[in-house]
Chain A
């Protein structure tokens, strides 16, 4: 007989070993996936690794993908620290892109030296507003934010379509759904000449440090940590839940909006479909793989950025659909979450000891 028995506390070696084993398990399962798709798993993984890390260009492109992932990861992670699930980073990112486009194309600011700061701020504001709708519903009407943030994504994506098929469509695009290109003054600065690595990297790194500082060293972060641990105790200590929901979700939306503004301004240079290959959703994976640690999110964002890039390469070199990469991401995420949950248990073979006391102790029937 094999059964699971709850541990009094997670095994001491679990913290380091579990994520590594889980990622390996996810990749092993992915190997099966590649085999099913008729591709040698070895060739696939070689391709996955060589593109992102095999050259300076590869590294720079990995960085380009990591920038929005850091920001969306933070947008998920910060509310999650007080047990709010922001599934809406994707929509907030799209709104950021819309607002940035509006500043670049439809305001006089777009052609001035102040264009970049203005469009970044506008993107943050739009992302924040998009996230504040579910936040307010949650804070004052107790509406589940997981569902509302998710549903707001579809609205935002369709809003982008509405604009680029409609009033914002570039007359010279030969019918393609694209906005006109941004004026040069509205393009975010490239950091490394010859690559697409842009100044958004510095903003993303600063955001990661700032979120860490907020959580670890400020009175506001203290409130977030107390709420995250025990909302009842927070209320008892006079901490306003509604105020913190609004503030945290507002900041989260602003971070995702910044990612969107950066993508539109630095990478695409216009508003278009496919601006984000799911950066907002992958942000959820970034946050959890980083164990909700804002500094860890940077590292994880680079790893997942590499996966995106490697996936692009696989599409070209092996003719695999992008869905395979999404599935691989899902498998790794699934294994890591499973690993986290199971780290609290031990496997007992045969007739073992009775469960330890503590949270495991169920009351008699």
Chain B
């Protein structure tokens, strides 16, 4: 479906947006034709989300103009944009969990008054859902739905409002490969009816799979707009990062030693009062990376917390270097040689208002090298911090700067520096590269492989299948809190793993 030239459905010209200290968008142009799926590609911090939030009326641009169907528009609030037929699906869904799907859709309509004709809404929604392949029960309560279904509700909301410009912010980040395929089919149908779709992404293969054209942003500037098909991924990657980096890591064959981290028939209670981990048995040997794949919310967090001593298991055993540490405190796990790269960096991994130096000693401040008796020697703490900052390339205004001022990549390097310098026997790495750009991701991958070489066992919990396939020697697939399978790297294809993530068990092998 190639774009018929005039007039573009969405036209942004010379859009500039400054935040204190950052030029988020610098004279960006964007044109999206009716019937087009346009990918907006770029690394984290390239300005994709800012540009789209401007189009959605959430920010006002400092310069530049926006035309919708040829008419210049100035949006003061998202309400203005919605009135112009623009809709956006955010990464964080905006749904009321206790209400039904139909109620959520009704709630989002601008004219929603006191009287609600729910049966009619249910009928209409069911028809819309069938038409666009958005399988979801309009009467179901939102809290009962999986993330994939919730996303479909968000799209149904846009349809109900009659949006003909749809912006989707990294829609596949929470989906299995199969769900992503289904979403792409829906998007194609939506575009075929003349809507303009904008897909924010940093995944190259998605661009080729679904988009017609792609605009690449880097450091807030538009690098170029090219046809999605026919532009090789390497070329897109070069545009995105400014150099060719389809990541290639050197991974020697594994030479695993003895078991460093063992989990046997582990059951862990989740926050909702039902077991989130159900009888998982898994072991990671010294010098081995074991990847745990799965869609978010399938027990990964509870599994990791139970291993780290942050959540007491219901039953089952955890072993660290041959010792039974079931129900041990976090301190005992740290002392036993477990390092933990937590899921939520800012919320768990650091004390953001404390200095970089303090955060680098967050787990080792009890050591004799940092002071005598009850006292801490600030000079020893600072010297240690400077050493690690240099070795791990942590860029900060100084070791006295608050950790909360660091960028995502630097913050993750700080956490890695602290966790790795403890010379761990086992590393629990939780989404270690989520939200990082290509350069920072590569650095993290190299560090994890270095640790594998140094004889540590790594339990890598990640939603990023590419990352798991790249690093892991063995892959465990977690689905519904159970292990769907444990396979050796190279033994299963992406599709197979994706199917298992979606709940289908591997045929007995």
Contact = CB atoms under 8 A, between A and B. Distances in A.
Given A219-B365, A364-B78, A240 B331 contact: yes
B392 interface: no
A218 B376 contact: yes
Contacts of A232: 344, 347-348
B59 interface: yes
A356 B60 CA distance: 11
A219 B366 contact: yes
B375 interface: yes
Residue in A221, A238, A240 with the greatest tally of chain B CB atoms within 10 Å? A238
Contact of A354 (B60, B94, B344): B60
A112 interface: no
A217 B60 CA distance: 47
B330 A236 contact: yes
Given A226-B362, A238-B331, A233 B348 contact: yes
Interface string A219-240: 1111001100110111111111
A363 B366 contact: no
Interface string B388-426: 000000000000000000000000000000000000000
A220 B333 CA distance: 20
Contacts of A221: 376
A8 B378 CA distance: 30
Contacts of B329: 238, 240
Contacts of B350: 230, 233
A230 B330 contact: no
Interface in A278-335: none
Contact of B330 (A220, A226, A237): A237
A229 B331 contact: no
A221 B363 CA distance: 14
Contacts of A236: 308, 310, 330, 340, 342, 348-349
Given A222-B365, A233-B362, A237-B362, A364 B58 contact: yes
Interface string B266-289: 000000000000000000000000
A38 interface: no
Interface residues of B, number: 44
A357 interface: yes
B194 interface: no
A193 interface: no
Contact of B375 (A217, A230, A354, A363): A217
A350 interface: no
Contacts of A365: 78, 94
A2 to B, nearest CB: 18
Interface stretch (B245-253, B351-359, B494-502): B351-359
A8 B60 contact: no
A229 B310 contact: no
B358 A219 contact: no
A137 B90 CA distance: 42
Contacts of B347: 230, 232-233
Interface of B is mostly: loop
B334 interface: yes
A58 B460 CA distance: 69
Nearest to B333: A238
A233 B365 CA distance: 14
A219 B90 contact: no
Interface in B317-337: 329-335
B480 interface: no
A356 B62 CA distance: 12
Residue in A233, A235, A353 with the greatest tally of chain B CB atoms within 10 Å? A233
B20 A230 contact: no
Counting contact residues on chain A (CB < 8 A from B), the size range is: 20 to 34
A230 B332 CA distance: 20
A41 B340 CA distance: 62
Contact of A363 (B92, B340, B361): B92
A229 B351 contact: yes
A232 B345 CA distance: 11
Contacts of A219: 365-366, 370-371, 374-376
Interface string B297-315: 0000000000010100000
A317 to B, nearest CB: 47
A235 B331 CA distance: 9
B19 A229 contact: no
Given A354-B59, A357-B19, A235 B351 contact: no
A230 to B, nearest CB: 4
Interface string A183-219: 0000000000000000000000000000000000111
A221 B375 CA distance: 9
A215 to B, nearest CB: 11
Nearest to A229: B351
Contacts of B56: 364
B376 A233 contact: no
A186 B362 CA distance: 46
B351 A233 contact: yes
Interface string B12-34: 00000001101000000000000
Given A225-B358, A364-B78, A218 B374 contact: yes
Contacts of A217: 375-376, 378
Contacts of A222: 358, 361, 365, 376
Contacts of B349: 233, 236
A364 B87 CA distance: 12
A237 B94 CA distance: 33
A125 to B, nearest CB: 21
Nearest to A234: B351
Nearest to A362: B58
B402 to A, nearest CB: 9
A218 B377 CA distance: 8
A222 B354 CA distance: 10
20 contacts: A218-B376, A219-B365, A219-B370, A222-B358, A225-B358, A226-B354, A230-B347, A232-B344, A232-B348, A233-B348, A233-B349, A233-B350, A233-B362, A236-B342, A236-B349, A237-B334, A240-B329, A240-B331, A364-B94, A365-B94
Interface of B: 19-20, 22, 56, 58-60, 78, 88, 90, 92, 94, 308, 310, 329-335, 340, 342, 344, 347-354, 358, 361-363, 365-366, 370-371, 374-376, 378
Given A230-B350, A236-B330, A238-B335, 6 more contacts: A217-B378, A225-B351, A229-B352, A233-B362, A356-B20, A357-B20
User: What 6 A-B pairs come out closest when comparing CB atoms?
Assistant: A238-B331, A229-B351, A238-B330, A230-B351, A237-B362, A357-B19
